[in-house]
Amino acid sequence: MAEKSIVVLISGSGSNLQAIIDAIESGQINGRISAVLSNKADAFGLERAAKAGIPQIVISHKDFADREAFDGAMIEAIDQHQPDLIVLAGFMRILTPGFVRHYQGRMFNIHPSLLPKYKGLNTHQRALEAGDSQHGCTVHFVTEELDGGPLAVQAPIPVLPNDTADSLQQRVHQCEHKIYPLAVELFCNGRLAHTSGQVQLDNNTLPPEGYQFTQE
Ligand code: GRF
């Protein structure tokens, strides 16, 4: 199967971007990152891209009158790389329905909760306040509903008695760095797909919670 072209969108640190770069370099992922796009010129993830020899694109949302114009400029820049997959990795802008539809079935996001629980922000604090015994992270296909697309890979972790929002966040982040490369690997091998509203892994429809990743 031909190597897939991946474009990664970031706004910040890009530690998930780094995990994907590392997984490509180790041969886990049969793909290449054709470009990293950031809406912030000072995002640390751009330095990670530069170090890995990946072309960087900066498009500031502040230079555009509205979301449609910003998203249109992003589509124009992204499509020059003929991407098979768009990876949202800490990209902190809400996308327009037109942008989402354009990449339907080939755009992932990662979210720091066991979706559908805790869409939006402050997920670790919310899980603690609810007294949950489990928390985690989820890779999902992006649809027009924010954090609401069908789930691809999910990793539950236990909430420990002394956990704080910070300690939980750190352990969830470590999990993200495992399941994001895994989801990208499976997509690039043609094993994971979102077609007709369902997520398929090896031609079997996944349950609503997606493929459950468990640590040994
Ligand atoms: C992660 O916590 C991810 O779940 C959320 O944004 C954060 C990105 O972190 N969508 P990083 O920039 O990859 O380090």
Closest atom of ligand 1 to 88 CA is 10
- 111-138+153-216: what CATH class? alpha beta
Closest CA to 24 of 133, 187, 196: 187
Written as six digits, the tokens of 8 are 């990664």
The band of 197, judged by pLDDT with boundaries at 50, 70 and 90, is confident
Supply the DSSP symbol for 3: P
Q: Which residue in this structure is represented by tokens 């690039």?
A: 188
Written as six digits, the tokens of 211 are 């493929």
Closest atom of ligand 1 to 14 CA is 12
The answer to whether the 1-103 and 111-138+153-216 domains have the same CATH topology is yes
**Is the pLDDT at 216 greater than 70, yes or no?**
no
Domain boundaries defined on the chain: 1-103, 111-138+153-216
On the 0-12 / 13-18 / 19+ scale of CB atoms within 10 A, 214 is: exposed
Written as six digits, the tokens of 91 are 């990209």
Mean pLDDT on 150-177: 97
**The predicted structure's pLDDT at residue 186:** 98
Closest atom of ligand 1 to 12 CA is 12
The band of 160, judged by pLDDT with boundaries at 50, 70 and 90, is very high
88 CA to middle of ligand 1, Å? 9
The verdict on domain 1-103 having CATH code 3.20.20.80 is no
Mean pLDDT on 72-95: 98
On the 0-12 / 13-18 / 19+ scale of CB atoms within 10 A, 129 is: exposed
Written as six digits, the tokens of 88 are 């949202």
pLDDT tens digit sequence for 65-79: 999 999 999 999 999
Residue type, 210: G
Tell me the pLDDT of the chain averaged across its residues: 97
Nearest CA to ligand 1 atom 9: 90
Residue type, 72: G
pLDDT tens digit sequence for 125-158: 999 999 999 999 999 999 998 899 999 999 999 9
How far apart CA 127 and CA 81 sit, in angstroms, is 39
Kindly report whether the peptide bond that precedes residue 181 is cis, defined as omega within 30 degrees of 0: no
Cα separations in angstroms, 96 against 29, 115, 137: 29, 21, 24
19 CA to middle of ligand 1, Å? 11
Nearest CA to ligand 1 atom 2: 112
**Is the pLDDT at 198 greater than 70, yes or no?**
yes
* Ligand 1 residue neighbourhood (C-beta within 6 Å): 12-16, 89-90, 110-112, 173, 176
How far apart CA 161 and CA 215 sit, in angstroms, is 19
Largest distance between two CA atoms of the chain: 49
> What stretches of 118-203 adopt beta strand conformation (E)?
134-141, 151-158, 192-195, 198-201
| Substitution site in 110, 117, 175 for ligand 1 pocket (most atoms within 8 Å of beta carbon) | 110
Nearest CA to ligand 1 atom 8: 90
Mean pLDDT on 88-106: 97
